[in-house]
Structure 1
Amino acid sequence: AVDTEYQQARPCDANRRELLLGSLARPGHPMKKFFWGNAETLKHEPKKSNTDIYTRLRDFWQHCYSAHYMNLVVQSKETLDTLEKWVKEIFSQIPNNGLPKPNFGHLTQPFDTPEFYKLYRVIPIKNVHSLSIAWGLPPQERHYRVKPLHYISWLVGHEGKGSVLSFLRKKFWALALYGGNGETGFEQNSTYSIFSISVTLTDEGYEHFYEVAHVVFQYLKMLQKRGPDKRIWEEIQKIEANEFYFQDQADPIDYVESLCENMHIFCKEDFLTGDQLLLEYKPEIIAVVLNQLCPLRANFVLLSAASERKCYLKERWFGTQYSVEDIDKYWSDLWASDFQLNQDLHLPEENKYIATDFALKASDCPDTEHPVKILNTQHGCVWYKKDNKFKIPKAYIRFHLISPLIQQSAKSVVLFETFVNILSHNLAEPAYEADVAQLEYKLVSGEHGLVIRVKGFNHKLPLLFQLIIDHLSDFSFTPAVFEMITEQLKKTYFNILIKPEMLAKDVRSLILEHGKWSMIDRYRRLMKGLYTESLSSFVKGFKSHLYVEGLVQGNFTSRESKGFLNYVVLKLQFFPLPHPCPVQFRVVDLPNTHLLCKVKTLNRGDSNSEVTVYYQSGARSLREYTLMELLVMHMEEPCFNFLRTKQTLGYHVYPTCRNTSGILGFSVTVTTQATKNNSELVDKKIEEFLLYFEGKMRLLTEKAFRTQVSALIHIKECEDSYLGEEVDRNWNEIMSQQYLFDRLAHEVEALQSLTKSDLVGWFQVHRGKERKALSIHVVGFGKQEGDSDVQQSLLGEIYQLTFLPPSSYMKNTTYIRDIRNFTLMLNLLPYHKIK
């Protein structure tokens, strides 16, 4: 299992950078170690040196597993007396070795080394250019009441006027910027704190990465000269306090885990608040940290495939190719001097989006249990539900702008996604103040329309919604922005396609859903090139004919909620659709046989394989959907036990209930490694599991059946812990145009009517001669697949899938080598909604 985790972690740029950064620590520091572990370090090397790993593990356990090192948090609806009784019964036997707690105080400042203060060029797995600047600082946890790193990161990461990112975007050098400390064990511990600034660069930004770094340093110098600003600190304090006092209820398991960690770090009176609230303004503490962020004490990591010819070194564990060099003399000399400030960089202005009115509105219509349609016109409709359960001054606004233009061709899908990305780019600066004031928005390029999601404190939420619609109405772009966004979209598509799990999903969807354009179709079309005129024409067509469907839930009146649709119609001035636009795809009717589609992964440096066996059921009822859910629930534990624990095929092993555009099915998925397992053997093991599970189903007792039914009913009857859960469920009904808002109640009713024979018979139907099975294999690189040593990464472009023929293991399957031609021969199932 440890080696599997290691193999899955290898093709991740964040993990690679972290390991490379750790290798720069002083000798003897824990962060210099290889902290992932794999078969070599835990099996092969110990065997050579006659080291007993089990004994070493027991020694570690005896030293570190001790009650006086631990904190315990228990959350329950039971009484305190009951909880105290349980705690004593369950935890009193934990040993206490009486040893002093390990202290790492002598290991501070591990990155004050010549190796750290250099430029590292790294070849990434993803197709990306990025520059990371990092400083190793003294540990900052003790300053949690002031939160100096949070104050600095809030300013450095700001995206409004006068910010670093605003300036870099205007130069077309950057797409995104993150600054701060991730509060992970690597970035924040008792020996040091890391402060890093990571900039996602454009192609042009990569060519000017030293200038990008200089802009960052100019901003930091401006902050140092001005010193901490009390207005800014109090603004951050107000925003965090608003969010804390009106936060959604956390999942209990997450909440107790968070409190346990807090108890190790904070004073007793701050256990509940220390990780979120700014409690003391101490400018001298902030200034000390700010003044340590000087250019000559920074580490630089430049990620780009363009550096391939310069990267002659290889990190031992992850095989990361990199090079190391001194900072260019021109820039090091400049940064050592009293360089000029940049007049375009300044502190943000006062934030107009911070909520101050938290009153709950009175209802202006009868309360309802589910959303009701309060406005219905030829242009669209609005569903509405006033929140009278959670009673918080927040709201959710969601709109779906449906257009038949999007799925007309691969080109139209790419143009639509380009349009949405440019719209998001245009909004980034003007909407950023709303974002930091805990008003969240997201623009999603849906399969059939533009989805606008807005949520947060209702006081200023209409301002944000109107800002988005105004930018949509007045949409414009320059050729430079168009080029920057399309180049980034190429990288986005590429980075999705090199992930085996995403490629498997794309291939399965391409086979099953008729008329859907796959990610590789879109990537190939984008690589052929697009023109600004095509985008202008598409956007004009998109905005001319629409159907708009919305949902408003929370602390708004029905009158206010109608106003959101009216504003969209007023600003966009669109015509109604002449015909209704389906919001789902037709699904192919798979033949009664076992199909196999086997493709090679698109990253030569990735040994991970994804094997999914999908069984199509068909157009089914809600009762049959609950049967499938129950079947998959019965499968979960034996699937894990058989395929992972006993067969050790991979770390991720799971069955899934599938609803593909209204067509029911289930699947079993295994993520494995080509260095260990052949994908077709894994497929055979999945078949073995299903035979084993078939035997278990025959022996299923009435008691076991009823236990699982009760468990699934309990899950469906579980109350929503925050408003967003209810909104998500209602929005799914609207997006799919099914409108069965009380679906859970219907599902519970269906579950109560099921018998054991229903479940057993249901499984046998899908395992009989009439079964419709589709195996999707995305095959990694490794010796079990006939490959030589795994290479680093695929740095070229992707133009087509590489289809692999079946071996003797699966010679009896029907092999798909041309998806389009194969699916053209299949019948299409009618549009269907599970109700």
Structure 2
Amino acid sequence: MKNGLRVMLISSLKPGEEPELISDDSAVESEGEGDEESEDGEFEKSDVNCGSCTHEESPKLRKAAAALCVNVGSFSDPLEAQGLAHFLEHMVFMGSEKYPRENDFDDYVCQRDGFTNAFTDGEFTIFYFDIQRRHFGPALDKFANFFVSPLLSEDCVNRELEAVHSEYELAKANDHWRLEHFVSSLAKDGTPYRKFGFGNRISLKDNPTSIGTNVYEMLRQFQLRYYTSQLMTLAIESKVCPIKEMVTLNFIWSLPSMLPFYKAAPLKFLGAVVGYEGKGSLLAFLREQNLAVELCAGTVTTDNTRHNQMTSLFSISVELSELGRELPFTVASHVFSYLQMLRAAADFSLENPDASTSPSGGRTLSSLVPEYQKLCAAKFRFQEPLDPCDTVQVVAMSMQTFPSDEVYVADSLLLEPDLKLYVDIIRRLTPETAIVTLTQYFFPLATNFDLLPREEDDEVPVDLNLEPGRENARAFGQLWHQQRTKFNVPIAHVTVRLCSNIPKSAKQKAILHLWACALDQRLQTLVYSASEAGLLFSVSAVSNGLEIQVSGFNEKLFLLYQEIFDLLCAPLTNSDAGLLNDRKFSTYKDSHIRKYLTDATEHLVVDYMKALEALSLDDFVQFVPQMLSQIYLKAFVYGNLSKTEALSFFDYALSSLKPPKAAVLTSLPIPEFPVCVNRLRVMNFNKVDVNTCLSLVTPLQGTPSDDLKLEVMNELFVSCLKEPAFAYLRTSETLGYSVGLYSWLLLSTTRQCGATLTVCSQANKFDSSLVAGRMYAFWYRIIPQIIFRLKPEAFQTAGSFSITRQCAPFVKVDSMIASNRLEDATMEVEMRRNRAEILSSVPIFDRRQRAISILQNLTLKDFQDFYRSTYFNNDRQPVLMLQVRSSKFFSNQYIL
């Protein structure tokens, strides 16, 4: 543009779709899109005693999105105010001259089923949002004014500074950010890489004040200097981890910037080579020695902190087993020995580029290049479209680096292979130049295992033609099939859940989880080539059994599926059992409380810990055939697979497992709580963490129910109050960075729904009693004022209600109707939604259509009566206050 701003407009039209059929008016969309679903949108299901049912989708609306990337980040922070770029990112969203009200943009977007966020990287700061397309124009105007004339009110400085500090405290408890900070601290003094980009109260307030620096004036000058159109790129698509107690050994190399060599994709290619998990790989060897659980290698090329104009960081991260934690030097020696052999193989390939086999018998580096290039091309050609919000972020950032005509392909395709470049990088991966965390520099020792003995990849797709077909179904258990050709890709998703009544005790459920992990890990070694060929798989434990998922190019999907079921009943070894024990300890400790309180069949965490301590391989050997003796299958075959192919997946599972009889599925009991405020306080497992988290959990009485009205009312209730909750608890009270009101629906278990109000705060700033008091004030005092003082005209159209000094618009019922009409942007979105229904006890495929009907006939009185009889009725509605307290600042004197 004339002012120097670079803009890319992305059309969301699908192949074969006519532009005139796309309209901002929902009635026109209905005419343009309504007929398609009659051909391939139904489901058919049958079991021993059931017939079929048909599902038709209603017309869908679409979302639009925008992202603006500024070519400045934390590398440009002044030394006396480190974190200033991140602080400015927060301040920009606090209003503009045209729209001065705080949170006006967030309110507008979120209450129209949208999402907004921003992040600061080393060289870039990016802001983005998505919203229902018909509201995109006003939202884009509000968004643009942040950069045309940001308010940067001095009154907001201290409040947003506390939000930045709260975000910093949360990040301190995250292994990823701790490692990033440690790596940056190793950079040379005076280099931008050494700066503290996160920022906190000390770097942005205490330090500048001590030397007489005015941070607000510095913020203003920083914005005027860098937030200019010449440094901005804009992408528009529209109508036109908790702390995990896992120990990793990390190896990091600082390479020259690889951005100029993006056409050769060196970081991705070498990441695939080193991170290979098949037979003969480094990870397979470490697993055989019971030293490691997982390994990943390479660089996330969209992570500007690790891949920028100054340097590109190549890393190998090894998740250690219990034995590996005791022998980190041994693991390091194996890694460096592997890299030494990789350097020798690379040199051989450079001297003999046409050779396909190395002297050791493995494949050469040069022979892997064409295969990787072919896989990249196949994945790119048939990749599912991203969500618009993700698309515009990627495009806006890519425009800062790549030519406009290569924005989409630069980070996806291997355009110009460069064997000499690959070899040069491998030669740089030496012990002398590595940063190694959890150990010291280590030099290679002799280790006896073959380098890259990779076999020809049978899973590489050859036939990429589409084959549409009709739906069908199958008896014994349930088989659901939906053939989809509307997305025009040769991809399929298959989910099979093996349900059983056997896992009941804490010991049995602990074995089930370990068995799933062992299977998943063994598969990673045996069929890793499938994942490189665009096929994905997972094996996971669920509340009543085992779930197996495969997806990807449909041509070779059945081969992968067969390998999984062939392995399912194979005996476990001591290596499998021992490798995962301590890993599951941390999983139970980190994420158990929520599940325990929503699932009446769940056990106390201490019971799982005791069960894990006493487990032996004999327990596994006895449990597996016992569980598989009584199973009930729920299968969902979705995508480019015909009726016959769908039946083959179901039949193969049964023929492989040969269960003597089917399990009889029963409904899970619903947890019951006394009708009062129930308080539960637990201590943070991390003894030095200052973070504390409080959740006010309210299971909605009367659910589960065959009447969807309660579920719809619950969603509307939360939609109405999300922004007021944020305005009061975060903006006004500044209790913490992470604050939210959420609705939940336990679709796959009890079908109960409810709402949860959560605040993550810091115990060194607020004690839990104060935070809980503010949450109670919002729940019991402010919410009734909002609901009962609401005017009828504000119920259907955007009204407002004042919370202290913050004015929060009320959600429109029309917006909820529109959000239920949003089309599924990708195959995976549609598949996940329908799979959730299939795996529930009562599938409702027209859930969104029924919700629309309920909302269209809803009155303000209906809504207020719902609230009065449920959440407002203290004689009927139980409430659960959960607190995860900081052990560091705990005192017995604090009582709720």
Normalising by the smaller structure, the TM-score range is 0.7 to 0.9
Given the superposition, is the C-alpha separation of residues 458 and 636 from structure 1 closer, same or farther in structure 2, using an over 3 Å criterion?
Answer: same
Aligned residue number for residue 566 of structure 2: 470
* Shift of residue 342, structure 1, vs aligned partner: 4.1
Q: What pairs up with 1:488-637 in 2 under 5 angstroms?
A: 488-494=583-589, 496=590, 502=591, 506-527=592-613, 529-577=614-662, 580-582=664-666, 585-618=668-701, 619=703, 620=705, 621-637=707-723
**AA partner of residue 287 (structure 2):** R
Count of residue pairs brought into register by the alignment: 692
Aligned residue number for residue 273 of structure 2: 155
CA distance in 2, matches of 1:562, 1:15: 47
Instruction: Work out which of the residue numbers 285, 297, 321 in structure 2 matches 1:167.
Output: 285
Tell me, yes or no, if structure 1 residue 480 matches structure 2 residue 575: yes
Instruction: Work out which of the residue numbers 421, 428, 436 in structure 1 matches 2:517.
Output: 421
1:299-326 CA-to-partner distances (Å, cap 9, x unmatched) read 21117xxxxxxxxxxxxxxxxxxxxx6x
Aligned residue number for residue 450 of structure 1: 546
**AA partner of residue 324 (structure 2):** G
1:587-614 CA-to-partner distances (Å, cap 9, x unmatched) read 2333322211122222211111111112
**AA partner of residue 174 (structure 1):** A
1:457-476 CA-to-partner distances (Å, cap 9, x unmatched) read 00000001111000013x21
Contact 2:491–2:552 (8 Å) recurs in 1? yes
Contact 1:598–1:806 (8 Å) recurs in 2? no
Q: Percent identity at matched positions?
A: 30
**AA partner of residue 492 (structure 1):** T
**AA partner of residue 769 (structure 1):** N
Aligned residue number for residue 656 of structure 1: 742
Contact 1:398–1:454 (8 Å) recurs in 2? yes
Aligned residue number for residue 231 of structure 1: 367
Moved more, 587-596 or 10-19: 587-596
Tell me, yes or no, if structure 1 residue 715 matches structure 2 residue 805: no
Given the superposition, is the C-alpha separation of residues 142 and 341 from structure 1 closer, same or farther in structure 2, using an over 3 Å criterion?
Answer: farther
Tell me, yes or no, if structure 1 residue 385 matches structure 2 residue 385: no
1:747-788 CA-to-partner distances (Å, cap 9, x unmatched) read 1111112111111222222213323222111112455x43xx
CA distance in 2, matches of 1:433, 1:198: 20
* Shift of residue 221, structure 1, vs aligned partner: 2.6
Aligned residue number for residue 310 of structure 2: 191
Aligned residue number for residue 680 of structure 1: 769
**AA partner of residue 734 (structure 1):** I
* Shift of residue 125, structure 1, vs aligned partner: 6.4
Aligned residue number for residue 95 of structure 1: none
Aligned residue number for residue 378 of structure 2: 242
CA distance in 2, matches of 1:242, 1:745: 36
Aligned residue number for residue 87 of structure 1: none
**AA partner of residue 475 (structure 2):** N
CA distance in 1, matches of 2:587, 2:712: 36
Tell me, yes or no, if structure 1 residue 21 matches structure 2 residue 183: yes
CA distance in 1, matches of 2:695, 2:336: 49
1:183-213 CA-to-partner distances (Å, cap 9, x unmatched) read 3222111111111111111232233333322
Given the superposition, is the C-alpha separation of residues 666 and 643 from structure 1 closer, same or farther in structure 2, using an over 3 Å criterion?
Answer: same
1:123-149 CA-to-partner distances (Å, cap 9, x unmatched) read x96433321111111111110000112
Contact 1:508–1:776 (8 Å) recurs in 2? no
CA distance in 2, matches of 1:160, 1:513: 38
Instruction: Say what the alpha-carbon RMSD is for the aligned residues.
Output: 2.0
| SS of 1:443 mapped into structure 2 | strand
1:21-77 CA-to-partner distances (Å, cap 9, x unmatched) read 111111101121222111111122222222111111112112211111111222211
* Shift of residue 562, structure 1, vs aligned partner: 0.9
CA distance in 1, matches of 2:861, 2:258: 61
* Shift of residue 536, structure 1, vs aligned partner: 0.7
Given the superposition, is the C-alpha separation of residues 601 and 209 from structure 1 closer, same or farther in structure 2, using an over 3 Å criterion?
Answer: closer
Contact 1:598–1:805 (8 Å) recurs in 2? no
1:694-738 CA-to-partner distances (Å, cap 9, x unmatched) read 212223233332142111111111010111111111111121121
Contact 1:673–1:782 (8 Å) recurs in 2? no
Tell me, yes or no, if structure 1 residue 394 matches structure 2 residue 491: yes
Aligned residue number for residue 728 of structure 1: 832
**AA partner of residue 581 (structure 1):** L
Aligned residue number for residue 154 of structure 2: none
Instruction: Work out which of the residue numbers 782, 785, 790 in structure 2 matches 1:700.
Output: 790
Aligned residue number for residue 376 of structure 1: 475
Contact 1:381–1:550 (8 Å) recurs in 2? yes
Contact 1:263–1:271 (8 Å) recurs in 2? yes
1:477-511 CA-to-partner distances (Å, cap 9, x unmatched) read 222332222233224334x2xxxxx3xxx435434
Instruction: Work out which of the residue numbers 857, 874, 877 in structure 2 matches 1:769.
Output: 874
Aligned residue number for residue 217 of structure 1: 336
CA distance in 1, matches of 2:182, 2:205: 23
Given the superposition, is the C-alpha separation of residues 774 and 205 from structure 1 closer, same or farther in structure 2, using an over 3 Å criterion?
Answer: closer
Q: Unpaired segments of 5 or more residues in structure 1? A: 79-123, 304-324, 497-501, 787-803, 811-835
**AA partner of residue 641 (structure 1):** A
Moved more, 646-655 or 683-692: 683-692
* Shift of residue 517, structure 1, vs aligned partner: 2.0
**AA partner of residue 739 (structure 2):** V
Contact 2:687–2:888 (8 Å) recurs in 1? no
CA distance in 1, matches of 2:453, 2:232: 43
Moved more, 769-778 or 142-151: 769-778
Contact 1:221–1:341 (8 Å) recurs in 2? no
Contact 2:184–2:194 (8 Å) recurs in 1? yes
**AA partner of residue 337 (structure 2):** Q
Aligned residue number for residue 779 of structure 1: 885
1:85-126 CA-to-partner distances (Å, cap 9, x unmatched) read xxxxxxxxxxxxxxxxxxxxxxxxxxxxxxxxxxxxxxx964
Aligned residue number for residue 727 of structure 2: 641
Contact 1:651–1:671 (8 Å) recurs in 2? yes
**AA partner of residue 262 (structure 2):** Y
Instruction: Work out which of the residue numbers 121, 140, 146 in structure 1 matches 2:258.
Output: 140
CA distance in 1, matches of 2:610, 2:419: 54
Given the superposition, is the C-alpha separation of residues 125 and 697 from structure 1 closer, same or farther in structure 2, using an over 3 Å criterion?
Answer: closer
Give the TM-score normalised by structure 2: 0.75
CA distance in 2, matches of 1:521, 1:753: 49
Contact 1:713–1:748 (8 Å) recurs in 2? yes
CA distance in 2, matches of 1:511, 1:726: 30
Contact 1:167–1:344 (8 Å) recurs in 2? no
| SS of 1:429 mapped into structure 2 | helix
Give the TM-score normalised by structure 1: 0.80
CA distance in 2, matches of 1:587, 1:665: 13
Contact 1:167–1:345 (8 Å) recurs in 2? no
Given the superposition, is the C-alpha separation of residues 588 and 219 from structure 1 closer, same or farther in structure 2, using an over 3 Å criterion?
Answer: closer
